């Protein structure tokens, strides 16, 4: 019992420290931009290597990203189509909004559907960083979960540090803190590599990733990308895909688009916590706050739980399964 308490306190401390550090960096940058008396829409953030000037608006133009990905989600084949739309907030050029949606086929015990959606609302200065609110929902028939939290990023030359510090919730998972932290380096303006850490329902996870814009020339909308991760409780995932980014934004390089048009798409990583489940011997009531705000109907019971093997073995005698 005390060991579990120490573990919770340790992860809470990591989340709190990360939130404070990244929030402080971006917050100070935000304060610096306020000192500039010019309206934000007229403030210039930086120039790309091809000398194309970029606006300091949170999102330059209206941008559409679409693509497809495939791989293994905790050892089970998963393929998804993906679409994302981003734009600046009307009348508030320093704030942006982005919506992500993915749908596909997850081949668990039997062919079933996988789906995910996410919403980002954020302040951003393309020359400094971003700070905003994030929410998502992931579904592997019939289990699902959601995350709500703080999303941050800091830009420095060819380096980007990004973080998500959130609360995971739902009828099929325990309510707990989760995180995603990534350190990315742009080898050139159209090639990115990254390493990262995730904390999910299964435990700690280490992640590596890459993205490469096609053709090696400015203006190409197409890129290839991939990620691989592995961690505690025998969890692993890898996927690769292709995507295109189109829209009215002026940026032609991948680094310009990442910092001035789009924010990080966190699908299908948000499905990681619902890939291992079991039927609960004695179903327990869903979280009170979920029923109180009508996310789950009154009187709902958690009959299927997704978690680590250790957690599932405490509440189930029927065996662990993939959705």
Q: Which of 251, 273, 295 is where one domain is finished?
A: 273
pLDDT surpasses 60 at 270: yes
Q: Are residues 263 and 298 in the same domain?
A: no
| pLDDT score for 12 | 44
92-108 core/surface letters (b: 16 or more CB in 10 A; e: else):
ebbbbbbebbbebebeb
Q: Are residues 154 and 297 in the same domain?
A: no
> Within a domain: residue 294?
yes
CA neighbor of 209 nearest in space, from 188, 234, 191, 227:
227
Q: Are 134 and 147 in contact (CB under 8 A)?
A: yes
- Determine the average pLDDT of the residues in 247-267: 92
Question: Which CATH number belongs to the domain containing residue 68 in this structure?
Answer: 2.40.160.40
Q: Are residues 93 and 216 in the same domain?
A: yes
Range of the domain at 292: 277-321
| pLDDT score for 5 | 44
Place of tokens 């890459």: 210
> Within a domain: residue 2?
no
Q: Are residues 24 and 158 in the same domain?
A: yes
Rounded CA gap, 278 and 265, in Å?
A: 29
Encode pLDDT of 10-58 as tens digits. 544 544 445 444 544 444 444 444 444 444 333 444 434 433 334 579 9
Q: Are residues 50 and 108 in the same domain?
A: yes
Instruction: Give me the percent of the chain exceeding a pLDDT of 70.
Output: 77
Q: Are residues 118 and 24 in the same domain?
A: yes
- How many residues in total does the chain contain? 323
Greater confidence (313 vs 38) lies with 313
Q: Are residues 198 and 305 in the same domain?
A: no
> Within a domain: residue 181?
yes
> Within a domain: residue 139?
yes
Q: Are residues 268 and 281 in the same domain?
A: no
CA neighbor of 260 nearest in space, from 39, 30, 98:
98
Encode pLDDT of 146-166 as tens digits. 999 999 999 999 999 999 999
Place of tokens 């700690």: 204
Q: Are residues 39 and 80 in the same domain?
A: yes
Rounded CA gap, 58 and 97, in Å?
A: 9
Q: Are residues 218 and 311 in the same domain?
A: no
**Structural domain count, the chain:** 2
pLDDT band at 285 (very low <50, low <70, confident <90, very high): confident
CA neighbor of 152 nearest in space, from 288, 233, 34, 264:
264
> Within a domain: residue 75?
yes
Q: Are residues 149 and 284 in the same domain?
A: no
Encode pLDDT of 174-214 as tens digits. 999 999 999 999 999 999 999 999 999 999 999 999 999 98
Minimum mean pLDDT range among 13-27, 217-231, 269-283: 13-27
In this structure, what token pair is assigned to residue 259? Answer: 């910092």
Encode pLDDT of 61-91 as tens digits. 999 999 999 999 999 999 999 999 999 998 8
What is the chain's Cα-based Rg?
Answer: 20
pLDDT surpasses 90 at 108: no
Minimum mean pLDDT range among 116-130, 178-192, 209-223: 209-223
> Within a domain: residue 150?
yes
Rounded CA gap, 214 and 117, in Å?
A: 27
Q: Are residues 311 and 242 in the same domain?
A: no
> Within a domain: residue 1?
no
């Amino acid at each position: 019992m005390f060991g579990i308490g120490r573990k919770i306190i340790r992860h809470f401390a990591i989340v709190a420290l990360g939130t404070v550090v990244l929030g402080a960096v971006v917050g100070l940058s935000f304060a610096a931009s306020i000192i500039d008396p010019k309206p934000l829409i007229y403030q210039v953030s930086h120039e790309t290597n091809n000398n194309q000037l970029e606006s300091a608006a949170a999102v330059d133009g209206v941008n559409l990203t679409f693509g497809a990905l495939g791989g293994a989600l905790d050892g089970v084949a998963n393929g998804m189509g993906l679409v994302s739309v981003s734009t600046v907030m009307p009348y508030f050029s320093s704030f942006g909004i982005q919506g992500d949606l993915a749908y596909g086929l997850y081949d668990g015990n039997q062919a079933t559907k996988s789906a995910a959606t996410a919403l980002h609302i954020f302040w951003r200065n393309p020359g400094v960083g971003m700070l905003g609110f994030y929410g998502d929902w992931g579904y592997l028939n019939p289990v699902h979960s959601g995350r709500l939290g703080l999303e941050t990023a800091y830009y420095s030359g060819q380096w980007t540090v990004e973080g998500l510090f959130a609360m995971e919730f739902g009828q099929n998972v325990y309510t707990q803190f989760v995180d995603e932290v990534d350190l990315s380096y742009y080898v050139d303006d159209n090639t990115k590599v990254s390493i990262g850490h995730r904390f999910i329902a299964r435990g700690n996870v280490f992640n590596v990733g890459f993205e490469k814009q096609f053709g090696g020339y400015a203006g190409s909308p197409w890129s290839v990308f991939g990620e691989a991760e592995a961690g505690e409780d025998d969890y692993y995932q890898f996927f690769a895909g292709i995507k295109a980014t189109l829209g009215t934004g002026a940026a032609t390089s991948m680094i310009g688009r990442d910092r001035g048009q789009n924010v990080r798409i966190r699908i299908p990583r948000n499905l990681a916590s619902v890939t291992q489940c079991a039927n609960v011997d004695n179903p327990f009531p869903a979280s009170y706050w979920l029923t109180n705000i009508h996310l789950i109907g009154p009187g709902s019971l958690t009959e299927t739980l997704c978690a680590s093997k250790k957690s599932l073995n405490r509440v189930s005698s029927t065996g662990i399964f993939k959705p």
